[in-house]
Structure 1
Amino acid sequence: MFHDDLVTSIPANIPNTMSIDLNTRGAKKARSYSGYAHIDSTENPGSENHLFYWFFESQTCNPHVAVADQQELISSTPLLIWLNGGPGASSLLGLFMENGPLAIGDDAAGTVSVTSTTWNQEAHVVYWDQPLGTGYSYSDAGEYVKGEKALAGMFWEALQKFFGAHPEYARCPLYVCGESYAGKYVPAIALEIDERNRRQEGQHLDLRGISVGNGWIKPELSLRVLIDYAYTTGFLGIGQKESLYEDYAVFQAALHEGKTKKATKLGNDLVADVLAYGGDFDFYDVRRWDDLPMGALRAYLDSADVKNALHVRTDVPWQCADNAGPVAEALVKDNMADASGLYTELVDKGYKTLLYTGNFDTACGYQSTEEILDDLMRRKGPQEHAEWRNAPRVIWTQAQGDPKGFVRRRGNLTQVSVPDSGHEVPAFQPQICREMLYNWLFDRPFAGYDPQQPLKPVNGDAGQRKA
């Protein structure tokens, strides 16, 4: 089967003096496809919108064996959608800096290498640039999405185009994954897929669940937690904290009055003040003064040779921003909206749900996720709430006994807190994060112990606890 979006090789540096072959015998190779889902615009009839994807088949499949001869394996392998946030952050950040099969160095040439911690080791993974104006995705008419419903509808159409071109993956168990502002994108898209499936529209997609890392889900809560965390870690004095609480009350009032555009401005101003008072510490990792460096990624992705390899027009710029620029401006009314109710819907519908956090993130870290999930279970009723609170919080351990994470599971809901990590957990703890994902995905155990259970001897050592 031939696909005109097949990626056979990519430049291994900006000058294109070396290449990485994605489709030869030998080392861990995989089928890879990249290109566009072309979608008719509803706002501007006669024009099109173009959402970019880059797909990597699971390394458990053999790229040199015909699809028909391994279709059962291909179809039974989970397919993960990965979305970065922003708004305006390209998902190629996730590919090259977090969980993809490729990484870019910070040398002048922008040398690209193959990683050993990629998520496509046991799953298919497709990275999507969305919404419009993000990464390589663009609109003929300069269109941008203004809310989650429009975004989700457009993305569902893009998935239909992708699976129409690649029917060999259409029956795969599907999981929508992402981080940060994708804490809004992911549940909106999952519910759109669920709704279209129920209405029997288009190709049925076998949606199984969602995964979100450090999600921007309930901004009202995250902003309060930000003030408290900055104070607790010594970046604010008590007088500054009280002054920020006053500003927070003004933000809350605007939000509760439905003045969402004003609330977004006030919320962004509040973040800026907290960071300024703390000497401009890294919003995404309280231990750092600067965010993870992008290195030469922009120069690499803007090169004509890379665009040709990925089937992107050379006149299309690679756009990447974090809560700034036209993508964020179009979503100004969405930014501070509460998306936590969408998770309640998905959990109630039986979809597997994983929320994980790096404990040094001040933007949308552990405490806000903990309180969001507690409220979610409270809404389900007193019994469910009590069962969630009483569920064992297992210390997931490494071989030498140090914690990999703290895990709580009940029914289809899993929560993991990852120590020694900032906002982008797959970047800070790539091996642990991939193991976490696969444990959740394939129902593998999180080996460890419940510290609230009585001491039990393990291997003759009475000082250990056993789960």
Structure 2
Amino acid sequence: MSSDLVVSIPANVANTRSIGFCTKDTKKVRSYAGHAHIDSTENPGTQNHLFYWFFESQTCNPHVAVPDQQDLISRTPLLIWLNGGPGASSLMGLFLENGPLTIADDAAGTISVRTDSWNQEAHVVYWDQPIGTGYSYSDDQEHVYDEDTLSQMFYQGLQKFFDSHPEYVQCPLYVCGESYGGKYVPAIAREIRKQNRLNADGRQINLQGISVGNGWIRPELSLRVLIDYAYTTGFLGIGQRDSLYESYGVYQAALQAGELKKATRLGNALVATVLEYGGTFDFYDVRRWDDLPMGAVRAYLGSEAVKKALHVPPEVTWQFYDNAGPVADALAEDNMTDCSELYAELIGNGCKTLLYTGNFDTACGYRSTEEILDDLMERMGRQGEWRNAPRLIWTQAQGNPKGFVRSLGNLTQVSIPDSGHEVPAFQPQICREMLYNWLFARPFHGYDPDQLSKPRNGSTGGSS
């Protein structure tokens, strides 16, 4: 039995019941949790510890030995999920967005099974990273200060996971995340590609693609769009908008001068002012006043019984911050940098890429992603092709849009209506279907509105 096997977990905050993962009668998935231990290069003799929680695909049978279904296991996609922040634990994504477990938002914090989990047809592993996030910790209070260090440490952690679980090494790997994960995901993918080249005769990680929801990619653009969106939706008056434009100019000057910590401070202050003018609406969903509730998650993951079930040392405290705290402070120079070139590099080298957005997100929503991709395509000499690529209306059975989909080569962009920043939380069924369509090359059923008035094979309208 693997030392990181999850046998059971508390079924509520009070630990009055449990959920078994290894029962004789009930089919449940294999699950592993623990830390990847990485030797520190900054403080020799100490280690950094990255926490993961893995769930095997429900297409695999936990009652059948791995060697007897290795082919099925190996051809099943392995998804890495990363929340952002900086400082946001990916276990928030597990319990509130796309994991096989969900938690009730009350004092009891009852755990139940989610029907829209991403592990129905894929293996999914949730990582707390960088160190200082969630259950991940450092022996010597170390932090990372840039994406290069972060991605190198994560790559080492991933290799440690594969050392313990070689049965998943050959799986097609997809690095997925949201928000500040818009920086983490491409940096980690680039590091995996780099290490595959350097270790041509060693273990190769089967990286196939990346997926990012509402990514913090080009902050300079996202902050400008924030002002415009808040004004358009009525949260700012024209005088307040103009005052914010002036503050934005000061922020831009610091950014262009390379004063990155100052730019981060000014950018954060700009966001705070927009929210204050707007009566503190939810930064991540312009329709709401509060973000996803975290109280039950904090209580549950702070429990000694939960930590024991997940092989977390009792002295480790679960940490969650959203662009605050020591993790964000360490990444202050990284926060406002533009990482869009990483996407151009990955797309240009054939990496399958999905960028999706919820249309009510003010932090880093549709418009910033749209303009980033348009600019990237121009730099890659493909702007005309991209702009002319059909933008399909992906429809539900009754005809209402599930989303708007555009693809060109290995790049897919999806905009999802009626959703805020955390798309899997707001539109779980649609988001999972989108992901599986992309992963398994399934069609997005719908129509091209540009073709409705254009004859096609002697008729009007059409679908794809």
TM-score, with length taken from structure 2: 0.98
Cross-structure match for 2:452: 454
Cross-structure match for 2:418: 420
Aligned ranges 1:97-112 → 2 under 5 Å? 97-112=96-111
Cross-structure match for 2:258: 258
Moved more, 208-217 or 24-33: 24-33
Cα distance in 2 for partners of 1:26, 1:348 equals 49
Aligned ranges 1:270-419 → 2 under 5 Å? 270-381=270-381, 384-419=382-417
> The residue matched to 1:408 in structure 2 has which SS?
strand
Say if 2:164 is the partner of 1:165. yes
The alpha-carbon deviation at position 24 of structure 1 amounts to 2.5
> The residue matched to 1:235 in structure 2 has which SS?
coil
Cα distance in 2 for partners of 1:61, 1:380 equals 41
Alpha-carbon contact 1:275-1:281 (below 8 Å) kept: yes
Cross-structure match for 2:196: 197
The alpha-carbon deviation at position 27 of structure 1 amounts to 5.0
Cross-structure match for 1:429: 427
Cα distance in 2 for partners of 1:315, 1:142 equals 14
Cα distance in 1 for partners of 2:274, 2:445 equals 39
In 2 relative to 1, CA 439–28 (structure 1 residues): closer, same or farther, beyond 3 Å?
farther
Cross-structure match for 1:37: 36
Aligned ranges 1:214-253 → 2 under 5 Å? 214-253=214-253
Alpha-carbon contact 1:133-1:139 (below 8 Å) kept: yes
Cα distance in 1 for partners of 2:195, 2:77 equals 20
Cα distance in 1 for partners of 2:410, 2:21 equals 36
Amino acid at match of 2:142: E
Cross-structure match for 1:466: 463
Moved more, 27-36 or 416-425: 27-36
The alpha-carbon deviation at position 466 of structure 1 amounts to 2.9
Cα distance in 2 for partners of 1:429, 1:362 equals 17
Amino acid at match of 2:180: Y
> The residue matched to 2:281 in structure 1 has which SS?
coil
The alpha-carbon deviation at position 421 of structure 1 amounts to 0.1
Cross-structure match for 2:117: 118
Alpha-carbon contact 2:27-2:61 (below 8 Å) kept: no
In 2 relative to 1, CA 27–121 (structure 1 residues): closer, same or farther, beyond 3 Å?
farther
Structure 2 alignment gaps of length 5 or more: none
The alpha-carbon deviation at position 454 of structure 1 amounts to 2.9
Alpha-carbon contact 1:22-1:32 (below 8 Å) kept: yes
Alpha-carbon contact 1:175-1:208 (below 8 Å) kept: yes
Amino acid at match of 1:441: L
Alpha-carbon contact 2:40-2:48 (below 8 Å) kept: yes
Aligned alpha-carbon RMSD (Å): 1.4
Cross-structure match for 2:61: 62
Cα distance in 2 for partners of 1:233, 1:210 equals 32
**Cα deviations by residue, 1:255-313 (Å, 9 ceiling, x for unpaired):** 00100000000000000000001111000000001111113111110111100000001
> The residue matched to 2:333 in structure 1 has which SS?
coil
Alpha-carbon contact 1:457-1:465 (below 8 Å) kept: no
Cross-structure match for 2:13: 14
Moved more, 172-181 or 18-27: 18-27
The alpha-carbon deviation at position 28 of structure 1 amounts to 4.9
The alpha-carbon deviation at position 455 of structure 1 amounts to 4.8
Cα distance in 2 for partners of 1:290, 1:87 equals 19
**Cα deviations by residue, 1:3-38 (Å, 9 ceiling, x for unpaired):** 110001100001111111122355551000000000
Q: Which runs of 4+ in 1 moved over 2 A?
A: 23-28, 454-458, 462-467
In 2 relative to 1, CA 115–56 (structure 1 residues): closer, same or farther, beyond 3 Å?
same
Amino acid at match of 2:334: D
